[in-house]
Amino acid sequence: MHEATLRDRVAELLAPSERSNVPPFMVMDVMSAAERIEAAGGHVIHMEVGQPAAPAPRAAIAAARAALDFGRIDYTSALGIPSLRERIARHYLDTYGCAVDPGRIVVTTGSSGGFILAFLAMFEPGDRVAVTVPGYPPYRHILTALGCEPVLIETSGETRHALTGDTLLAVHRKSPLKGVLVGSPANPTGTMMSREALTHLMEAAQSAGIRFISDEIYHGLDYAFPAVTAVELSQHALAINSFSKYFCMTGWRIGWMVVPEPLVRPIERLQQNLAISVPTLSQIAAEAAFDGREEMEAIKRGYVENRRILIEGLPKAGLTRFLPADGAFYLYADVSHFTADSFEFAKRMLEQAHVAATPGVDFDPVHGRNFIRFSYARSADDMREAVARIARWLG
Ligand SMILES: Cc1ncc(COP(=O)(O)O)c(C=O)c1O
């Protein structure tokens, strides 16, 4: 065979699918650049990554150790270890005063694993699913990879970046939506939806037959007012949560969903086929994590202090415009009075001030070039040092 033809054939054979062509996560590029500075002896304050600096609760680690000593780590049932599902159900009663049937709890491989199961169970290829921008990029990238169409709806500071029912219905009237996904507290804005805002949005979605998904991964990290779970407001909504943030268990890859009853069996079948079950050691640790609440509340008090340092310090340093930091551990700052390219701004801030933050373009392809996201999940000393460095750099 002609060499060029053979090359073409091989290229065709190995060509990745169109749906796998999802954009990378830019925060990873910032992390790599920070690592290069550190390898050369620099000291970087890390505010780019959305993960707690603290380890998992001591009780979780002890339970995992004991399980390893005990011996076998077997598969579990696809929906999760029954005692963990019961413990999660109890968490809804303790935290929100809301009774949930443990039969509706599905344990997942992080909330990331939950998105895949939820989207597969709720949507067909081609379905239009609304997500807000600025927003967590994998929402739209996972939908795309599964053949659905993410419909980006812009939110603004006027509604605390909450999607309103009116806006949702206006988009739906133009071209029907099958679903909508919102998160509160939100990444990257750190803003939260009030009970009233969430209720109105869910009622609007239900009235139009739009399926509702609530990303509740930052629940527990609410400062402005208590976060409201969609589980309490409707039996038809699907709520996704995780042990990654409040419980500081990012690398354990463990989360859960509360799913409408008719979706339990389809999701069970999907999980059986896609993953068999969620890592057993992480499930055992997660169940014990609920005994570590005191420890986690102390960590939360640290975030409250970090938030105060930034809210008071950043304006003095020159960053005067940011959204209300209601929850999670993010502060989304408008830097448009310094630059029209926040990627370049973040790069210079990293290189010259050794403070790493994430450019907004990751979260918002349209207006993200005006914003950067600071994560305040590390120590108070780091926050004070970051403010001082930014003040010197901008000053
Ligand atoms: C809003 C939001 N949802 C979901 C996730 C995924 O987290 P995990 O898969 O660790 O539960 C993240 C991670 O940063 C996030 O910010």
pLDDT by residue (tens digit) across 341-377?
999 999 999 999 999 999 999 899 889 999 999 999 9
Q: What b/e string do you get for 301-338 counting C-beta neighbours within 10 Å, with b at 16 or more? A: ebbeebbebbeebbeebebeebbbbbbbbbbbbbbeeb
Distance from the alpha carbon of residue 218 to the mean position of ligand 1, in angstroms = 9
pLDDT by residue (tens digit) across 291-308?
999 999 999 999 999 999
Q: Is the dihedral of CA 21, 142, 378, 382 positive or negative?
A: positive
Distance from the alpha carbon of residue 253 to the mean position of ligand 1, in angstroms = 10
Quick one: pLDDT at residue 289? 98
Write phi, then psi, for 242 (nearest 5 degrees): -160, 155
Quick one: pLDDT at residue 377? 96
Q: Is 183 in the pocket of ligand 1 (CB under 6 A)?
A: yes
CB under 8 Å, gap of 24 or more: what pairs does 226-231 form? 227/184, 227/185, 227/192, 227/327, 228/96, 228/184, 228/193, 228/194, 228/195, 228/198, 229/92, 229/96, 229/98, 230/198, 230/202, 231/92, 231/96, 231/98, 231/100, 231/258
Quick one: pLDDT at residue 158? 80
Distance from the alpha carbon of residue 217 to the mean position of ligand 1, in angstroms = 6
pLDDT tops 70 at residue 233: yes
Q: Which residue's alpha carbon is at the smallest distance from atom 1 of ligand 1?
A: 187
Q: Report if pTM > 0.85.
A: yes
Pocket test of ligand 1: the residue of 119, 219, 245 to mutate, having most ligand atoms within 8 Å of its CB, is: 245
Q: Is 136 in the pocket of ligand 1 (CB under 6 A)?
A: yes
Calpha distance 17→191 (Å, rounded): 36
At 5, the pLDDT band (50, 70, 90 cuts) reads confident
Pocket test of ligand 1: the residue of 112, 119, 221 to mutate, having most ligand atoms within 8 Å of its CB, is: 112
Token pair recorded at residue 307:
């938030």
Pocket test of ligand 1: the residue of 48, 115, 132, 136 to mutate, having most ligand atoms within 8 Å of its CB, is: 136
Mean pLDDT of the region 200-216: 98
Task: Locate the ligand 1 atom nearest the alpha carbon of residue 50 and give its number.
Answer: 14
Q: Decide the pairing of beta strands 371-375 and 211-215.
A: unpaired
Calpha distance 63→326 (Å, rounded): 33
Q: Is 215 in the pocket of ligand 1 (CB under 6 A)?
A: yes
Task: Locate the ligand 1 atom nearest the alpha carbon of residue 135 and give its number.
Answer: 1
β-sheet bridge partners, residue 163: none
- Cis ω on the peptide bond leading into residue 260 (within 30° of 0)? no
Q: Which residue's alpha carbon is at the smallest distance from atom 16 of ligand 1?
A: 187
Among 5-19, 32-46, 187-201, 207-221, the range scoring the smallest mean pLDDT is 5-19
User: DSSP letters of 81-121?
Assistant: -HHHHHHHHHHHHHHHS----GGGEEEESHHHHHHHHHHHH
Q: Which residue's alpha carbon is at the smallest distance from atom 4 of ligand 1?
A: 111
Distance from the alpha carbon of residue 276 to the mean position of ligand 1, in angstroms = 22
Q: Residue 275, CB half-sphere, CA atoms under 13 Å: how many?
A: 24
Task: Locate the ligand 1 atom nearest the alpha carbon of residue 111 and give its number.
Answer: 11
Q: Decide the pairing of beta strands 371-375 and 179-183.
A: unpaired
In this structure, what DSSP letter does residue 235 have? S
Task: Locate the ligand 1 atom nearest the alpha carbon of residue 253 and give its number.
Answer: 10
Distance from the alpha carbon of residue 80 to the mean position of ligand 1, in angstroms = 20
| Mean per-residue pLDDT over the chain, rounded | 94
At 188, the pLDDT band (50, 70, 90 cuts) reads very high
pLDDT by residue (tens digit) across 38-84?
999 999 999 998 899 999 999 999 999 999 998 789 999 999 999 99
Closest C-alpha to 40, from 350, 348, 349: 350
Closest C-alpha to 115, from 136, 95, 93, 85: 136
At 14, the pLDDT band (50, 70, 90 cuts) reads confident
Quick one: pLDDT at residue 1? 62
